[in-house]
Amino acid sequence: MILGHKDILHFFEKVMGAGKLSHAYLFDGPEAIGKKTVALHLASTLLQKQTDELSICPDFFLLERQKDAKTGKQKKDIDIEQIRNLRTFLSRTSSSKKVVIIDGADFLNIHSSNALLKTLEEPPENAFMFLIAQNSFLLPGTLLSRMQTISFRPVKDEDIREYLETQKLTDVEKNEMLQYACGAVGKIFSWLEDDAKFQEIRLHAERFYTLFHIPFYEKLQKTEDMFLSKEDHIVGREHLQSLLSLWQSLLERSVYSNIYENGGKHLCDNDQLVKIYNAINFAKEKLSLNIHPRLLVENILLEIP
């Protein structure tokens, strides 16, 4: 199900109808806002298959990070062997269209990026690729220059609210989901499927509000459980990225509307809220570059009065 992104869908409807679809697109934007859902929709349209049939379609190839066969942990990147498999798929002789989706293109390493570049430089006929990324700045410029970038934005509140009105939720729950998701419809769908996840987000939001106007050592104590999965650093960093996105969602509501959260309690002035927001942005960017998570969170806490 696609919520929002009507302008993007209309764009592809026009170029596909005119037979002017480019060979490669980069879908860039925040997590869980519908990039992969749109890519799957386009793949099903091109291949004339239902979305749930794509996994068994011989002309469809989905590439994403895999789990390590020995440890069971998710690998930190998309490796060159996966790109070699992709090139083998594209080299097969066929008169029909082929569609490739690379989910998590910002996890390509230098070797897999170089291997993919060769494919983008000489794209096979009737092959269309959709790359999905949250942090496109991590991709080499040589790759970016070979693709058309489509920037995705968070889904508008009115589109999400219209959908939430069809669900059995209280007004409080609807408002909280809108607030915590901040346009990330994938999170909404996840919370509706698993209420425990929504309750966990509620707790994290409440914890964020308690970080204001307390001693620094108490801030450290309250955020200790943010550093989960010490054995699996990849999962731990992605968990932290998600929590920091939640913090930004809460700050955005406060800054843009100048309304103080937590039952009207005054957190701090908007200038300071913006400083906190920028510190979170810095932390999220550096997490992708493997800077120590604890140091980055402490830097954010120092900005919270």
Residue 97's nearest CA partner among 123, 118, 116 is 123
Question: Which has the minimum average pLDDT: 91-100, 205-214, 221-230, 283-292?
Answer: 221-230
pLDDT at residue 96 greater than cutoff 90: no
pLDDT by residue (tens digit) across 137-153?
889 999 999 999 999 99
Q: How confident is the model at residue 237 (pLDDT cuts 50, 70, 90)?
A: confident
- Angle (CA) 220-222-226 rounded to 5° is 85
For residue 292, what pLDDT is reported? 84
Give the model's confidence band at 260: pLDDT under 50 very low, under 70 low, under 90 confident, else very high.
very low
Highest mean pLDDT among 79-83, 240-244, 262-266: 79-83
Average pLDDT, the chain: 89
Q: Is 266 exposed, middle or buried (0-12, 13-18, 19+ CB in 10 A)?
A: exposed
Q: Give pLDDT, residue 264.
A: 46
Q: Give domain 6-151's CATH number out of 3.40.30.10, 1.10.3210.10, 1.10.287.1260, 3.40.50.300.
A: 3.40.50.300
How is the chain split into domains, by residue range? 6-151, 194-303
pLDDT digits (tens, 9 = 90+) for 99-157: 999 999 999 999 999 999 999 998 888 999 999 999 898 899 999 999 999 999 999 99
Query: Would the pLDDT of 285 be above 90?
Result: no
pLDDT at 56: 95
- Phi and psi at residue 240, in whole multiples of 5°? -65, -40
Question: Looking at the predicted structure, is the pLDDT value of residue 235 above 80?
Answer: no
pLDDT band at 288 (very low <50, low <70, confident <90, very high): confident
Question: What one-character DSSP code corresponds to residue 154?
Answer: P
CA distance linking residue 241 with residue 200, whole number of Å: 15
- pLDDT score of 35 more than 90: yes
Decide: 105 and 133 in contact? Cβ < 8 Å: yes
Residue 232 has a pLDDT of 53
pLDDT category, 258, cuts 50, 70, 90? low
- State the Rg of the chain over Cα: 21
Listed range (124-138, 250-264, 282-296) with the worst mean pLDDT: 250-264
**What's the longest Cα–Cα distance across the chain?**
67
Q: Is the pLDDT of residue 168 over 60?
A: yes
Q: Output the pTM of the full model.
A: 0.86
- What pLDDT score does 257 carry? 58
